[in-house]
Amino acid sequence: MPVNLGSKKYIRKDVHFGDRFFRRILKILSIGLLGLLFSISLFLLAGAWPAIKEFGPSFLVSTTWDPVKENFGALPVIFGTLLSSLIALILAGPISVGIALFLNELAPKKIADTVSFFIEMLASIPSVVYGLWGIFVLAPWLRTTVEPFLGSTLGFIPLFQGPPYGVGILAAGIVLAIMITPTVSAISREVFRAVPQNYREAALALGGTRSETMFLAVLKTAKNGVFGALTLGLGRALGETMAVTMVIGNRNEIAASLFAPGQTMASIIANEYSEASTDLHLASLTAIGFCLLIVTLIVNGTARFIVWSNEKRWK
């Protein structure tokens, strides 16, 4: 900004050169990431275009997947993706929120730090390790103990009918629940920390118990942020590949039973992409990848917006 001082003009430098340079570098990198995302979307759309042109909207509602006759439909894998992710969210949601409440509101600091460290360690375990554990530990236990018990007690419900395979939708949902628990609990804990302390003090001053304070002053106040955390966990579950591929059974069909094998959008790409023998088969797999990208972007964008709104509300 020019400033007149007599006959000379001086340029005021409000920001140091290093700060301006650093800011511009970050701006370029941010725009580059957006460009990368846009280019990935264009690449997938271009690769999927032959399948979109051939099948049209019926690709999303058809249940046939026949590479020999080149007849492809994505409904079974969409169904398997949504069902396994929903199971994971139902199982992991209450546990993760309970963990976050305990660590933030009840546990002493040393215990909270130790427990949170081990929970966050779950996020660093490679997905293939979860898959191996699911094959050799979880699936046999489900096949010999859990699924027979559920079938004998709740067999009148279609969800719990059929032979106990061990591998299937239920196994995939449980593995996904374990994998998304660190994400949901960590974000929920940060959301609970954002709740002003005077809310807790007001609830206690009005005679509320410790549990009433947690549920009314903390959980109810931060419900939007918790919903955002759950939605982020759902986004993680939707895109998981290797662990799900190893335990879901990889059968391309829609079944009412949770015991039955199934397939997800990520698992069918992992299984068949390297073996696709025709251009239409390859384009159909790419179209499934494009659908998965759109779904995950919508889910994660919604979750980020909700969490951001909750944090802004308490600033």
pLDDT in tens, 110-153: 888 888 888 888 888 899 999 999 999 999 999 999 999 999 99
Tally of structural domains, the chain: 2
Average pLDDT of the chain, as a whole number: 86
Same domain as 309, residue 161: yes
Nearest to 224, CA basis, from 195, 265, 261, 255? 195
- For 19-63, the DSSP string reads HHHHHHHHHHHHHHHHHHHHHHHHHHHHHHHHHHHHHGGGGGT--
The CATH number of the domain where 85 resides is what? 1.10.3720.10
Same domain as 167, residue 89: yes
> Is residue 147 within 8 Å of 259, Cβ to Cβ?
yes
Residue 69 has pLDDT above 70, yes or no: yes
Same domain as 56, residue 36: no
**Residue 3: pLDDT band by 50, 70, 90 thresholds?**
very low
Same domain as 36, residue 55: no
Same domain as 240, residue 305: yes
Same domain as 269, residue 139: yes
What is the model's pTM? 0.85
Q: 266-309: per-residue pLDDT in tens? A: 999 999 888 888 899 999 999 999 999 988 888 877 777 776 77
* pLDDT at site 6: 53
Q: 73-119: per-residue pLDDT in tens? A: 999 999 999 999 999 999 999 999 999 999 888 888 888 888 888 88
Range of the domain at 35: 2-44
CB atoms within 10 A of CB 136: 9
